[in-house]
């Protein structure tokens, strides 16, 4: 017996703790939503809550008016004039309450829509600002995407918690008014009814909490199913899916992800429904008991006929309000779980910045130096770079070569300040790179990455994004019309900043732009109607032009000719040689012929630098570079082993270098 009593007390404490926890969760959800309303939609949000409260007051007024009406009819004399004189005030109160209740629904729906639009605009901007402010390493974490996805779901469903908050306010006002009427009948009756409302709210809140947890747990499955779904309907993947008959295998992967998601969701739903059925049965039992108690009170003379009828009516309304209150609490708890993800995402620490940044050295004198630099991607088990010691000097052209995964792109991103070293230090003219303002340092560099941007805007804007200061004038000239007027630097009567024209020429995009129907004003991409889609190589020329637009002391090209034909590739390296003159230039390329453009070649393998030197010295060493060179040279040899064309060169780049001499490339 002692053990049983102790277990009962422990269970009661646990139940009380859980109840208090859910109350805190509901309170926190309501406080957060009210805070959002106060900051971003004060007027419509305040009117929304006021309208909900006024509408909620209608229910007890109706009950009160019905009681007065029945009592007036029962007590009035039989003369018609006296009857109407007695009932008109109650009829007027009843009409007012019904009209207000009818208007409240429309007003709340409109105000919730206005409030949602304002909140979504403000919070969507805040989400995007946060995404821009985060350290690039954050994007390497899978949890980042889970937070962002769940935050986006919370943002897209802001109307629900807003309406839930309004319903909760209205229901609480209605319940308060009804409880006053029931207290007049008997205080214990009011207390029991209040307890049933609280129990119903707790059960629905628990169910919502389970749904939120399952939603978070199944987020990877949703993302997986969404990925396969998008791939199966993708334009880019369509040819390969049909050629290799991948439709059925990939559809099977989608189906397995959907089945696992459905199984976990349905299991959680079954747990929820068991609690809900129990709460529903308990509520109906309490309602029946309340009817019985009211009859006893009426038979004992404690209630008049009008009060009895009105409280019967109020009891039916009480059942609806209990459901409404519980449902609103459940919605708030459910959306609080999503809003918590939104808050988690918005609370992520932005990219670290020095409190008092040092001045960026201008011009570079000593260059950029890596001292014992190592880097590990978040969640990775091995180092992407290990113990890197390297100096990049002003005016020097450096080629980074090595097999995939050797760490070339990671090194470049550390150079640009996009990542911070896990170990070691990077200095700029002796100043720690971490002491510089990241944005100020990045303005000192320009780059073309492997995954370069393809912006669904005009050709001129695609180049102008290399220097945002040029965009205002350019966008004003181009306009946002779906049928833009021609815009060109000559022959078409419009103005393009000369720097954009020059960058287009340096990047080899001027001929492409001249062939477009509206020149620099031609919208590009496949996202919008009327736009012109480009090939990968044509997009890459625009990316090169965008990089050359910025007159920066550091130039980085990461596989700049990967999507270009041999003729265009030769032109790109000619342009790179000219653009790199007097700058610190870093080139990443798997085509080792292009490495001969560099003053120094740095060979990486297994995350470390293993060789340095120029082309001839590295070949004499007979190490990794020589091995890679011989492998590539074999592709250009004919059956007799003589290199293609008899030039004794391994690539079109070398042939071009030989034909143009030092004036053209080196």
Same domain, 572 and 483: no
In a domain, 234, yes or no: no
Higher pLDDT, 636 or 558: 558
What CATH number does the domain containing 393 carry? Answer: 3.40.50.300
Q: Which of 318, 346, 374 is the last residue of a domain?
A: 346
Higher pLDDT, 157 or 219: 219
Give the pLDDT of residue 490: 43
Q: Which of 44-53, 95-104, 260-269, 387-396 has the highest mean pLDDT?
A: 387-396
Same domain, 462 and 579: no
Instruction: Tell me how many degrees the CA angle 250-251-254 measures, rounded to the nearest 5.
Output: 90
What CATH number does the domain containing 177 carry? Answer: 1.20.1560.10
In a domain, 22, yes or no: no
Write out the DSSP string of 277-343: HHHHHHHHHHHHHHHHHHHHHHHTTSS-HHHHHHHHHHHHHHHHHHHHHHHHHHHHHHHHHHHHHHH
Q: Which of 484, 516, 543 is the last residue of a domain?
A: 543
Q: Which of 518, 543, 568 is the last residue of a domain?
A: 543
In a domain, 141, yes or no: yes
The domain tally of the chain equals: 3
Task: Specify the DSSP class assigned to residue 201.
Answer: H
Give the pLDDT of residue 116: 78
CA distance 8 to 546: 72
User: Tokens 């199944």 label which residue?
Assistant: 218
In a domain, 8, yes or no: no
Give the pLDDT of residue 217: 66
Same domain, 325 and 176: yes
| Cα 657–chain centre separation | 47
**Nearest by Cα to 507 from 471, 459, 554:** 459
pLDDT at residue 8 above 70? no
Same domain, 207 and 278: yes
Same domain, 538 and 557: no
Who contacts 237 (Cβ-Cβ below 8 Å, separation ≥6)?
Answer: 231
Q: How confident is the model at residue 600 (pLDDT cuts 50, 70, 90)?
A: very high
pLDDT digits (tens, 9 = 90+) for 573-595: 777 777 777 789 899 887 787 88
- Domain range for 497: 453-543
In a domain, 377, yes or no: no
Taking residues 136-148, report their average pLDDT: 69
Same domain, 581 and 539: no
Same domain, 409 and 339: no
In a domain, 371, yes or no: no
Same domain, 520 and 570: no
pTM reported for the whole predicted model: 0.65
User: Tokens 């880097």 label which residue?
Assistant: 375
End-to-end CA distance of the chain: 95
Same domain, 186 and 113: yes
Bond preceding residue 363 cis, omega within 30 of 0: yes
In a domain, 247, yes or no: no
pLDDT digits (tens, 9 = 90+) for 60-112: 667 666 666 666 666 655 655 666 666 667 677 767 777 776 677 777 778 87
Same domain, 623 and 652: yes
Same domain, 461 and 436: no
CA distance 397 to 384: 23
Same domain, 31 and 112: yes
Average pLDDT, the chain: 74
CA distance 373 to 414: 9
In a domain, 603, yes or no: yes
Instruction: Tell me how many degrees the CA angle 604-606-607 measures, rounded to the nearest 5.
Output: 65
Q: How confident is the model at residue 19 (pLDDT cuts 50, 70, 90)?
A: low
pLDDT digits (tens, 9 = 90+) for 316-364: 666 676 767 766 777 776 666 667 777 777 777 788 888 888 998 888 8
Write out the DSSP string of 101-149: HHHHHHHHHHHHHHHHHHHHHHHHHHHHHHHHHB-GGGGG-HHHHHHHH
Is 664 exposed, middle or buried, given 0-12, 13-18 or 19+ CB atoms closer than 10 A? middle
CA distance 598 to 246: 44
Who contacts 626 (Cβ-Cβ below 8 Å, separation ≥6)?
Answer: 618, 619
């Amino acid at each position: 017996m002692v053990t049983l009593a102790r277990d009962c007390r422990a269970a009661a404490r646990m139940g009380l703790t859980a109840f208090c926890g859910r109350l805190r969760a509901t309170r926190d959800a309501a406080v957060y939503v009210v805070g959002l309303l106060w900051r971003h939609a004060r007027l419509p949000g305040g009117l929304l809550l006021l309208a909900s409260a006024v509408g909620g007051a209608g229910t007890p007024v109706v009950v009160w008016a019905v009681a007065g009406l029945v009592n007036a009819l029962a007590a009035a004399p039989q003369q018609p004039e006296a009857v109407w004189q007695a009932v008109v005030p109650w009829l007027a109160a009843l009409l007012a309450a019904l009209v207000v209740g009818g208007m409240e629904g429309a007003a709340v729906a409109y105000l919730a829509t206005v409030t949602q639009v304002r909140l979504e605009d403000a919070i969507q901007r805040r989400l995007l600002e946060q995404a821009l402010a985060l350290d690039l390493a954050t994007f390497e974490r899978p949890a980042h995407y889970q937070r962002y996805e769940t935050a986006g779901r919370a943002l897209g469903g802001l109307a629900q918690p807003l309406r839930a908050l309004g319903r909760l306010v209205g229901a609480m006002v209605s319940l308060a008014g009804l409880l006053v009427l029931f207290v007049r009948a008997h205080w214990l009756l009011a207390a029991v009814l209040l307890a049933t409302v609280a129990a119903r709210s707790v059960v629905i809140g628990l169910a919502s909490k389970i749904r939120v947890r399952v939603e978070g747990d199944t987020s990877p499955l949703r993302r997986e199913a969404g990925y396969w779904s998008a791939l199966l309907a993708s334009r880019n993947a369509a040819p390969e899916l049909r050629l290799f008959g991948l439709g059925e295998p990939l559809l099977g992967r989608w189906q397995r992800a959907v089945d696992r998601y459905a199984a976990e969701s349905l299991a959680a739903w079954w747990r929820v429904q068991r609690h809900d059925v129990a709460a529903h049965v308990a509520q109906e039992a309490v309602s029946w008991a309340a009817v019985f108690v009211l009859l006893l009170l009426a038979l004992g003379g404690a209630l008049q006929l009008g009060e009895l009828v009105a409280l019967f009516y109020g009891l039916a309304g009480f059942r609806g309000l209990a459901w409404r209150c519980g449902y609103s609490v459940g919605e708030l708890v459910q959306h609080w779980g999503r809003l918590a993800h939104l808050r988690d995402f918005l609370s992520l620490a932005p990219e670290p910045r020095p409190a008092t940044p040092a001045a960026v050295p201008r011009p570079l004198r000593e260059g950029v130096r890596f001292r014992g630099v190592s880097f590990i991607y978040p969640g990775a088990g091995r180092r992407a770079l290990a113990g890197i010691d390297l100096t990049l000097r002003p005016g020097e052209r450096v080629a980074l070569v090595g097999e995939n995964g050797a760490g070339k792109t990671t090194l470049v991103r550390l150079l640009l300040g996009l990542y911070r070293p896990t170990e070691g230090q990077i200095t700029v003219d002796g100043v720690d790179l971490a002491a510089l303002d990241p944005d100020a340092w990045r303005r000192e560099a320009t780059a073309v990455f492997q995954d370069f941007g393809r912006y669904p805007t005009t050709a001129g804007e695609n180049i102008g994004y290399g220097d945002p200061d040029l965009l205002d004038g350019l966008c004003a000239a181009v306009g946002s019309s779906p049928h833009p007027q021609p815009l060109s630097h000559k022959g078409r009567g419009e103005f393009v900043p000369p720097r954009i024209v020059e960058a287009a020429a340096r990047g080899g995009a001027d001929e492409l732009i001249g062939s477009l129907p509206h020149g620099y004003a031609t919208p590009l991409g496949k996202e919008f109607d009327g736009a012109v889609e480009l090939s990968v190589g044509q997009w890459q020329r625009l990316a090169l032009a965008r990089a050359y637009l910025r007159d920066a002391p550091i130039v980085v090209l990461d596989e700049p000719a990967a999507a270009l034909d041999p003729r265009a590739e030769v032109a790109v390296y000619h342009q790179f040689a000219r653009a790199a003159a007097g700058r610190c230039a870093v080139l990443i390329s798997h085509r080792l012929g292009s490495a001969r453009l560099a003053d120094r070649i740095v060979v990486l393998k297994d995350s470390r630098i293993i060789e340095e030197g120029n082309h001839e010295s590295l070949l004499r060493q007979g190490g990794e570079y020589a091995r890679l060179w011989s492998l590539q040279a074999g592709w250009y040899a004919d059956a007799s082993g003589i290199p293609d064309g008899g030039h004794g060169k391994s690539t079109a780049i070398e042939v071009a270098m030989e034909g143009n001499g030092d004036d053209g490339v080196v």
